[in-house]
Amino acid sequence: MKDGKAQRRKEAELLLGWVKFSPEMDPPKLKPGVLPLKGKLGSSRVIKISPDQVDFPDWKNHAKYAALAFGTEHSKEIIKKAAAAHHRQFFIDLGKCLAGKMSDELWTKRDVDVVELVLSSPRMKAPDAVRELERRGHQGMTEANFRKRKSELLKAKRRFDFFKWLLGL
């Protein structure tokens, strides 16, 4: 019984990690109205773009993870990638996490419990799910909020399962 619950919790945390990090993997884009300047370097053309002209994806969760794992190889790699991309907001968020002005928590117990409920009982009705969450000590989740979250999680689960299938996991 305990192994089944631990396995469901682990699967919930894996899906949450996927949901939290996969939207942030989009490449940077030029801000609207910015046209890169063309220059010449030898015989090839070079496009000059200032980091201020780039719209970076939100890496807030990456900054939280880097703060949580600060000093490890994982955090060093994330910090190196953000530095190479001149991702200014990442360093602002990282500084806030390290200074204690922003939580470095990637997800809450409530997040895990919601995902666990959806994964273990995908056909569970919203009123029953809200009651179960209240029984677990989580207040304030409405039926509409649960339905929306459930829909998002089930879509993310399909993408996550496909990703795992591609990797052969």
> Tell me: the pLDDT tens digits for 156-165?
888 888 877 7
Name which of 43, 29, 19 is nearest 107 in CA terms. 19
- pTM, entire model: 0.60
pLDDT for 8 = 80
pLDDT for 73 = 79
pLDDT for 2 = 63
Which residues, given as ranges, of the chain have pLDDT below 50?
A: 41, 43
Task: Tell me the three-class secondary structure of 44-80, residue by residue.
Answer: EEEEECCHHHEECCCCHHHHHHHHHCCCCHHHHHHHH
pLDDT for 25 = 52
pLDDT for 30 = 59
pLDDT for 37 = 54
